[in-house]
Amino acid sequence: MKSKSNKNRKNKQGFIHFLIGKDQYFDWLLLVIVCLAGYLVVKSGYPYPITMSDSGGYIQAAKTDMFSFYRPFGYSVLLQLIHTLSSSIHAIFIVQMLLYFISASIFAFTVKYFFAPAKKIVWYFLLFFFVFSPMAFILANAIMSDLLFGIVIYIMLASFIFIVKQGKWIALITFLLAVFCSLYIRYSAMVFPVIFLFCFLWLRGKIRWISIAGLVIVSVIFYNQMKDLMKETTEFDQFSTGFDGWQLANNAMHILPFIDLDSQKISDKKMRELHQFSLPYKDTILESTNHGSTTTVSFLWDPAFPLKMFVYEEMRKQQRSYAHLWIELGTTTFKEYGQYLILRYPWKFMRYYYFPNMKHVFFLYNPGIISSETSITTAEAYEWYKIDESQDLTLKNPFYKGIIWNFMQVLWTLRWIFILGLSLWAVLWRKRIKYNNADKIVFWSLFVFGAIYYASTVFASPIEDRYWFPTECILFSFCYILCNKLVLCMQSNSLKNNQEQAVISNEKPVIPKQKKGKKNIR
């Protein structure tokens, strides 16, 4: 009885002791080498962090400590914290790389802690390709919120696994903090509380209701704080910043060249005006989308397209500021117009926006920041970080735009082929795979989270490849858990066959005894 108790205690080794155990030494070495190599390779190409148009907004918000209605304030908080430690722009890459290393390690070891490797070679293979993420290394050297968003998701999902498997309160607190942070980094995270609310319904006991209550409280706090920030900075007493309406109108406008909608059929006056204003741009929209085969975000940002032109026209008519009309039209007319087109022509929307956008889930097509020739492109960065504009900030090694991008495309496609093959194998062996209840909740929750993340991201915006970085932990855990279960099935079958062979080989022929005085007659 005593030995059994000691065995159980050993099996329930604490996570901290697990992390520093000898079995993890090689894992830590692999993680450190891969991240250090990624840091050195990227830094050799881009001596300064890469910036885009969004970077200027993040820096300006951090510098002025003022909420911007374009995007949440979360990433600007990180920039402020880094700036208090060091005013050098190079500190951004170091801090972001360190945060990536920590979050990737926590997630990987969480998965290993609860799903012990059946074959170590499989574990090391998948771990390498999980941590070895060219997109993560490049995003670490960019002043963009994508990497931080993914880091928070890694922590959030690792905490969720702990909640399901052990019901730890510290894990729940960490999870709720991660959800709260994700909301302040990207508005797209507003779907997370809804997803996990349904996932928590699978749990049993008081942890289920406390987790659901925590999600509701976090969502309400975020909602109220956003309303207060909107009122304080824009004088609009509302939650929406209008960005969702702009995005919806941008996406719906992809179908405009393929429909014949009479303006008089639109009852709302303002929507009717917007539709009439947009009709002359049909040919321009058709050309921008390559006749309906690609998607674009240009309708949202480019002043040569109807949405921005309509705002400028309203500014002239109403004599009001751009910022106020941007929010007002995004909250009302643009949002309603986008919804109207999508609901009236759902199949057209799927054909000319959703399906062309969805194909980029499986094949990378937009290099985005990788194609940048120059690191610093925003005036705000030069000013806040006191960079000499005469310095050469151009790309040092042009192979980034070729070899690395091609490698990322091939790696991404091969990963999906591997996932497809693994899934088919799992379907064929579904009756042999054994899950306990907690394993089922973890596996299917990660699957559902990933599926909804992909579907909602495709719907919300024309895809840029940096949006997929947060899903790398989901793909890794999906592949690892399935591989582990399939390997265990193979081992179980092999053991069963060996036992059967052993039984057969140990059997001796039974010879019936003959009675004395009788001959064996054939």
Residue 174: what pLDDT?
A: 96
For residues 60 and 68, the answer to whether their CB atoms sit within 8 Å is yes
Higher pLDDT, 232 or 491: 232
Task: Please report which confidence band the pLDDT of residue 436 belongs to, taking 50, 70 and 90 as the band edges.
Answer: confident
Phi and psi torsions of 241, nearest 5°: -90, -5
Residue 1: what pLDDT?
A: 43
Residue 434: what pLDDT?
A: 79
Degrees, nearest 5: CA angle 100-101-106: 100
Q: pLDDT tens digits, residue range 374-391?
A: 777 788 888 899 888 777
Task: Please report which confidence band the pLDDT of residue 449 belongs to, taking 50, 70 and 90 as the band edges.
Answer: very high
Residue 109: what pLDDT?
A: 97
- Give mean pLDDT, residues 264-282: 92
Task: Please report which confidence band the pLDDT of residue 153 belongs to, taking 50, 70 and 90 as the band edges.
Answer: very high
- Give mean pLDDT, residues 307-331: 91
Within 13 A of 116's CA, how many CA atoms are on the CB side?
6
- pLDDT > 50? residue 107: yes
Query: d(Cα 273, Cα 260) in Å, to the nearest integer?
Result: 16
* 403 SS3 class: helix
Q: pLDDT tens digits, residue range 176-190?
A: 999 999 999 999 999
Greatest mean pLDDT among 226-235, 336-345, 456-465: 336-345
Degrees, nearest 5: CA angle 60-65-69: 70
Burial of 72 (0-12, 13-18, 19+ CB in 10 A): buried
- pLDDT > 60? residue 371: yes
- pLDDT > 60? residue 520: no
- pLDDT > 50? residue 4: no
- pLDDT > 70? residue 499: no
- Give mean pLDDT, residues 228-240: 87
Residue 500: what pLDDT?
A: 57
Question: Is residue 95 left, alpha or beta, with left meaning phi > 0 and alpha meaning psi from -120 to 50?
Answer: alpha
